[in-house]
Amino acid sequence: LYGALLVEQTQISHRLITCQQLSAFRYLFESESSTYTYLLADTNTKEAVIIDPVLETVDRDLKLIKELGLNLTVAVNTHCHADHITSTGLMKQRVAGLKSAISKFSGATADIHLTEGDNIPFGRHSLTVKETPGHTDGCITLVTGDQTMAFTGDALLIRGCGRTDFQQGCAEKLYHSVHEKIFTLPDECLIYPAHDYLGQTVSTVGEERKFNPRLTKSMEEFVELMNNLNLPKPKKIDISVPANLVCGLHHV
């Protein structure tokens, strides 16, 4: 996992990246909700973690995990999603010993309830939890031990951010979360969001701090903008949120 990563801006659905033969990293794409799922593994111990898996792609993801010979230990959601149903519950039924994880403040059931500073280990590596509420109360960002990669969920997107008009959303909280928990990471830290709608796959802390059109504004300007987006509610919110509160198994 440690070392420099060069990732092309491309719309391919997945790619394997290895660093110093220590770990494996895949990002996978679900097209209906434009959700990225991330798979990280220690190639020596074969222990793996998956971030934000989607119900519709559970067979694809488990097939890849089997092909790579990985032992999936934790399936973690960066928050309680409103635009798709998580596959963590279904994965638990099909992968022995797998544990689900989500923020303590999400209101969702899980085997592991995460708080600030918690670590999710996989082999010799781990992800550190940063609480980044604002899109929802239970949003977290997951940062690799060497701070070269951050999985930001919906808190920080590439040249954007998650909306703040439902699910306990608060523009002021989100602004503080991003500026205090994400923008304080090293400039070269790679940003991997939960979604992208323009085919972008990765950014950096330095880029977003400089070019993000929303989060380069003052807090007052940001709050005014976010409070007046007037977006339609997500199409699946009425089924996704209840399902995701119970690991995606509600009426599945």
pLDDT tens digits for range 48-66: 999 999 999 999 999 999 9
Which residue bears the tokens 């971030």? 51
Question: Is 109 part of a structural domain of the chain?
Answer: yes
Map 39-84 to HEC letters. Answer: EEEECCCCEEEEECCEHHHHHHHHHHHHHCCCEEEEEECCCCCCCC
CATH number of the domain that residue 181 is part of:
3.60.15.10
Question: Is 16 part of a structural domain of the chain?
Answer: no
Question: Is 189 part of a structural domain of the chain?
Answer: yes
> What's the pLDDT at 223?
98
Which range of residues forms the domain containing residue 221? 23-246
Name, of 6-15, 182-191, 231-240, the range with top average pLDDT.
182-191
**How does pLDDT run across 112-138, given as a tens digit for each residue?**
999 999 999 999 999 999 999 999 999
Judge whether residue 67 has pLDDT over 50.
Answer: yes
Give the Cα separation of 165 and 102 in Å (integer). 21
Question: Is 18 part of a structural domain of the chain?
Answer: no
> What's the pLDDT at 249?
81
- Rounded to the nearest 5°, which phi and psi values hold at 112? -125, 120
Judge whether residue 109 has pLDDT over 60.
Answer: yes
Least confident of 42-46, 178-182, 234-238: 234-238
Instruction: Count the domains in the chain.
Output: 1
For residue 28, give both structure tokens: 């996978």
Exposed (0-12), middle (13-18) or buried (19+): which is 111, by Cβ within 10 Å? middle
Quickly list DSSP for 191-223: EEESB-SSS---EEHHHHHHH-TTTTS-HHHHH
Query: Percent of the chain having pLDDT more than 90?
Result: 85
Q: In the structure, what pLDDT confidence band is assigned to residue 3 with cuts at 50, 70 and 90?
A: very low
Question: Is 11 part of a structural domain of the chain?
Answer: no
Judge whether residue 47 has pLDDT over 50.
Answer: yes
Least confident of 3-12, 95-104, 121-130, 149-158: 3-12
Question: Is 12 part of a structural domain of the chain?
Answer: no
Judge whether residue 19 has pLDDT over 70.
Answer: no
Question: Is 4 part of a structural domain of the chain?
Answer: no
Q: Looking at residues 25-31, what average pLDDT do you find?
A: 96
Give the Cα separation of 101 and 112 in Å (integer). 5
Question: Is 9 part of a structural domain of the chain?
Answer: no
Judge whether residue 93 has pLDDT over 90.
Answer: yes
Give the Cα separation of 22 and 2 in Å (integer). 8
- Of 11 and 149, the structure prediction assigns the larger pLDDT to 149
